[in-house]
Amino acid sequence: MGDSQGIDQLVIGPALKAVAYGIDASLRAAGRAIGVVEKPAADGNPLSSVRIWFKAFIPQEMLSGPPGFDCFLGDNRGYSSDRNAPARMHSEVFLQDLHTPRPTMTQNHSCGLTRQVKCDSGQPVASARAPIDGMRFYNFRYPGAEV
């Protein structure tokens, strides 16, 4: 994973900066945990495709909402390399033909169902999914590349 250089140059509050550093550290740890390998395939051929996914999840089973709201259900899980593990958001990019001058990129994004429940009984109050309109991967190579 890349380092967090440049975060200080952004006009963001200290809390968001702490979150950004935490995400970067978490991603580095997750990469080590699942054994990310950057070398040619066992047959000696160059790497031709890579699938990368990011998930945001709430580890608790239930958590209190902000003032005026009941509780919300979390994902009730820990870190996982399972692409199908429940999450608040999932973003995935599949890079193919990396060994050619014109690699391709396919992306997939989704948001999990957020469920508000009564804190004392767990009875459902409301549920909704966040929109995915702003979720997208940009060109990983350089400005102007046709990926």
CA distances from 64 to 87, 92, 129, 147 (A): 18, 30, 19, 43
Residue 124 reports pLDDT greater than 70: yes
pLDDT of residue 101: 84
pLDDT of residue 146: 53
Look over the chain and give the mean of its residue pLDDT values, rounded to a whole number. 73
The more confident residue out of 118 and 137 is: 118
5-49 per-position pLDDT tens digit: 333 323 333 333 333 344 444 444 444 444 344 455 566 667 788
What torsion, rounded to 10 degrees, do the Cα atoms 93, 94, 98, 101 define? -70
For residues 141 and 57, give the distance between their C-alpha atoms in angstroms, rounded to a whole number.
29
